[in-house]
Amino acid sequence: MAAKKENIRNFSIIAHIDHGKSTLADRLLEKTQSVAVRDMTEQLLDDMDLERERGITIKAHAVKLNYKAQDGEEYELNLIDTPGHVDFNYEVSRSLAACEGAVLIVDASQGIEAQTLANTYLALDHDLEIVPVINKIDLPAADPERVANEVEEVIGLECMNAPRVSAKTGENIEQVLEKIVSDIPAPLDSDDSKPLRALVFDSVYDNYKGVIVYVRVVDGKIKAGDTMRMMATGAEFTVVDVGYMRATSMESAKELTSGEVGYITASIKTVGDARVGDTVTTAEYPATEPLPGYRKVNPMVFCGVYPADGADYENLREALEKLQLNDAALSFEPETSGALGFGFRCGFLGLLHLEIIQERLEREYDLDLVTTIPSVVYRIHLTDGTVMEIDNPTNYPDPAYIDFCEEPITNANIYAPNEYVGAIMDLCQERRGVFKNMTYVTPDRVDIAYELPLNEIIYDFFDVLKSRTKGYASFDYEIKGYERSNLVKLDVLLNGDGVDALSFIIHSDKAYGRARKIAEKLKENIPRQMFEIPVQIAIGGKVIARETIKAMRKDVLAKCYGGDITRKKKLLEKQKEGKKRMRHFGTVEVPQEAFMAVLKLDE
Amino acid sequence: MKNIGLYIHVPFCKSKCPYCDFYSMRMCGGQADDYTACVLESLEHWADRLGRKADTLYFGGGTPSLLGGSNIALITRRAKALFGVDGEITVECNPSATEDDFFDTVAKAGVNRISLGMQSAVDSERRKLGRVADSKRVEECIKAARGVGISNITLDVMLGVPDQTAESLKKTIDFCLKNDVPHISAYMLKLEEGTYYYNNAEKLNLPDEDATADMYTFLGDILEENGYRNYEISNFAKPGFEGKHNLKYWNCEEYLGIGPSAHSFINGKRFFYPRDIDAFRLGCEPVPDGDGGGEEEYIMLRLRLAEGVVFDDFRARFGQSFSAKILEKAREFEKHGLVEISEESLSLTRKGFLLSNTIISSLIYG
């Protein structure tokens, strides 16, 4: 049953990672009795195992809460959860676009962090009413007054009356609900009589219903039996069901009307057909203009994903297809490597996205994988004027035909206590960063702005940053665009033969250091072979680093064990089996583990 | 029909050496005679069943000398009577577990070769290997054997044992040369699963792969200079003193093994007695271990010999020429000085011996 428009509140919760977003969401569900206490598992909204383990929300979800406020009115609160990582910034922005307000959580001891600001600005971009909440007041180090001041000074939000809560203990949660009701506007400019325009802010594949499309209805209405049309793709489907999302179930409804948040199912086969940000209208009464802000998300980071056992190739394909059903941002296409056999070139939004997919493939589909070094998309301008976009070093053209190269650059912001400024600047310098600006957010916290090449941060930047700042720094980036760069392709040669899967593109300043490191790693990890094996790292034809794997000296069975020939035979057969598991590069045999160690080249 | 070899396994030791995984146990009172009786019974049984002649007899262990001279003599006489053994008769002896009159007793029964488990002539190294007798005792054994007319003596030497260096190995080699034994077996230590050495490898100060390989080469060079031939990977002999019984293994010829854990190869079948002395005493049948004597097995075994695979012999045995495919693969190894290919044969060099597992497995299995 639909509430009066005046009594609808659509909101998101935004926060820096670990400031308690999911815990607060859980408390809100509990307070509004959307879930029985016995059904509460920690962080109910994050229902992927991985999310719960990593403590981050990967995909957005939404839930409708009913709340009887102190003014005696029944309110319909639609909580739209948002992913909390830079890789998913576009999805965050679509979730925010579905709301009129946002609850901003700030940790009472840590104060403002990188994503606090980034998400706040994102929310302000969407003209959202922001309700600040100071969380974790139960912590010994909590200093809500200081943090409230910080929020007022830095963001300019009135914060003196902001609820001070502990999502963990449940203290003052009621105040949050009251603030939502009093401060966040109702979707009053919605109009049921206009043609349907509903914003897709998430879509999830379900084995029984097909894709469940999560929408915010901006104008018009939709019901089962309507023919829905996706305005970006033109695809049409007959609506099977519409309704509201409850915490633990879906609640079918007669129709969804403007201002409301709900779901649509229409036997849609893949989430690629109902992309986040697209506008749903009806074929019967179509809107002319889609809602603003749609873009197809493009993968930024690519790597080869190969089954460790070639026999798993088809299983890997099936697993990727299944994951793609639910993840329109994941791309993949077959590729072959001389070294690794058959696999897929996969595209991801960022490194976290890559890791999540890799982990899900290994965990949920029980696959053993080898992944190649991640790459960004480079633009190579050839002397004949054509431009190539390259995400796989294998396709790197002959340098003789290259006029110049471009690589993606990001605007990155790092927030940290000022004592780490030196360490952070050193790191950014090492990563070819260009210093832009540094501002004191508070007397002892800084916001350092750098331009950083994307290929310098996709790999391990965040891990290194955290370790050099004892975990205090936070980090956020967005793509600025492409810039000219002096790139080279490094080739790895074992015994003179190139190993395609180990090639990668790198800035020429870094080539020598990296080449030496790779050569050392290979030497460490490849067992001695029958013959001496030169390990060479080359740019074009020029070798810039070299190591030698010594020839094996001894592999012999001294005794014949009183005529136990079978034992000896078995030993040799075992050796043969061992060889099968090796990757063969020309005459060189490299064990799987060694290969992984090289790809996971730590700094 | 060709004569077979006879092997008698004696599964007793005074104490277990920390690197050894052969089947052996401590001996209790009366067990020597009891076990001897079982062996005699088994010999009768097999002589009846096979109706074959043997020309070598080998007592291995364990520590065969622990059975006592008279028991060894008893078994030897019975084997001669039942199988007509008229050739090489070897007994493995641990210098610390051999009575004074042992050599005299066994020589009279026909034993004509003694294998002494010396392992190292450096006493500190020997002790770490669990060997209690000192090198003086080894020398006494050699003299005692010679005193009763047994001049065919082989010494076991181990390479790559804890604390060993090129210098200490040189002392062991000098000991062998000084005593002028006609045969030396030089085994590289292999860490066998379940042994003390295997479980404590990192504490043992073991020479590394390169050092051990160097020792092997060094030993081979010196022995060859002194008239020994490296006729098998681990065996060195003056001309005419090659171990005839062991050659049967490497030539893929037939042998019958008696005693728990002993292996046999008869009429194309391999079989063995399980590692269970009670099962043997109760007269349990050996366990089948599949067919033997195929081409791959023959090649695998013959390549352990310096002579290698002789193409004419191969053709005579299998009725077809030696595989051209294997030869082609061998060419790659030839380039690196690991194998030698001639009109007549394919064989491993000493450098190749050191890598024989890899070479043989890639020749046979690709």
- Residue B221 sits in a domain whose CATH number is 3.20.20.70
What per-residue confidence (pLDDT) applies to A595?
Answer: 67
Burial label for B50, CB within 10 Å (0-12, 13-18, 19+), is middle
What per-residue confidence (pLDDT) applies to A351?
Answer: 76
**Assigned domain for B146 exists:** yes
CATH classification at residue B312: 1.10.10.920
B353: left (phi over 0), alpha (psi -120 to 50) or beta: alpha
CB contact under 8 A, B263 and A555: no
| Whether the Cβ atoms of residue A252 and residue A243 lie closer than 8 Å to each other | yes
What per-residue confidence (pLDDT) applies to A598?
Answer: 67
| Whether the Cβ atoms of residue A469 and residue A420 lie closer than 8 Å to each other | yes
Do B123 and B41 share a structural domain? Answer: yes
What per-residue confidence (pLDDT) applies to A58?
Answer: 37
CA distance A125 to A132: 16
| Whether the Cβ atoms of residue A72 and residue A66 lie closer than 8 Å to each other | no
What per-residue confidence (pLDDT) applies to A599?
Answer: 63
Q: Distance of alpha carbon A49 from its chain centroid, rounded?
A: 16
What per-residue confidence (pLDDT) applies to A52?
Answer: 46
What per-residue confidence (pLDDT) applies to B166?
Answer: 95
CB contact under 8 A, A553 and B209: yes
CA distance A159 to A145: 9
CA distance A277 to A92: 10
Do B339 and B212 share a structural domain? Answer: no
A88: phi then psi, degrees, rounded to nearest 5: -110, 30
Query: pTM, whole model, 2 decimals?
Result: 0.66
Residue that terminates a domain, selected from B215, B233, B249: B249
CA distance B207 to B217: 14
Do B317 and B210 share a structural domain? Answer: no
Degrees (nearest 5) of the Cα angle A567, A569, A573?
Answer: 115
Residues of B within 8 A of A550 (CB-CB) are: 210
Q: Is B209 on the interface with A (CB under 8 A)?
A: yes
Q: Are strands B255-258 and B4-10 parallel, antiparallel or unpaired?
A: parallel
CA distance A306 to A383: 34
Q: What is the mean pLDDT of chain B?
A: 94
| Whether the Cβ atoms of residue B10 and residue B259 lie closer than 8 Å to each other | yes
Do B188 and B76 share a structural domain? Answer: yes
Do B315 and B238 share a structural domain? Answer: no
Do B230 and B82 share a structural domain? Answer: yes
**Assigned domain for B265 exists:** no
Do B243 and B125 share a structural domain? Answer: yes
Residue that terminates a domain, selected from B249, B264, B293: B249
The alpha carbon of residue B333 is apart from the nearest alpha carbon of chain A, in Å, by 9
What per-residue confidence (pLDDT) applies to A94?
Answer: 87
Do B346 and B242 share a structural domain? Answer: no
B3: phi then psi, degrees, rounded to nearest 5: -75, 150
The number of domains in chain B is 2
Residue of B361, B362, B363 best to disrupt the A interface, most CBs of A under 10 A? B361
Nearest CB to A569; choose among B249, B297, B356: B297
> CA nearest A276: which of A52, A51, A80, A64?
A80
**Assigned domain for B162 exists:** yes
| Whether the Cβ atoms of residue A122 and residue A99 lie closer than 8 Å to each other | no
B276: left (phi over 0), alpha (psi -120 to 50) or beta: beta
Residues of B within 8 A of A495 (CB-CB) are: none
| Whether the Cβ atoms of residue A378 and residue A405 lie closer than 8 Å to each other | yes
Residue that terminates a domain, selected from B212, B232, B249: B249
Print the domain residue range for B358: 306-366
Lowest mean pLDDT among A244-248, A480-484, B6-10, B217-221: A244-248
Counting as low any pLDDT under 70, the low residues of chain A are: 1-3, 34-61, 83-87, 558-562, 581, 592-603
- Token representation of residue B94: 């641990």
Q: Is B290 on the interface with A (CB under 8 A)?
A: yes
Task: Give the mean model confidence (pLDDT) for residues B345-366.
Answer: 92
Do B182 and B55 share a structural domain? Answer: yes
CB contact under 8 A, A575 and B338: no
> CA nearest A62: which of A50, A51, A47, A73?
A47
What per-residue confidence (pLDDT) applies to A48?
Answer: 52
Whether B206 shows a pLDDT value over 50: the answer reads yes
Q: Is B304 on the interface with A (CB under 8 A)?
A: yes
Do B215 and B80 share a structural domain? Answer: yes
The alpha carbon of residue A542 is apart from the nearest alpha carbon of chain B, in Å, by 27
Do B201 and B107 share a structural domain? Answer: yes
Whether B33 shows a pLDDT value over 70: the answer reads yes
Do B228 and B320 share a structural domain? Answer: no
CA distance A156 to A264: 39
**Assigned domain for B196 exists:** yes
Q: Is B251 on the interface with A (CB under 8 A)?
A: no
Q: Are strands A474-485 and A445-453 parallel, antiparallel or unpaired?
A: unpaired
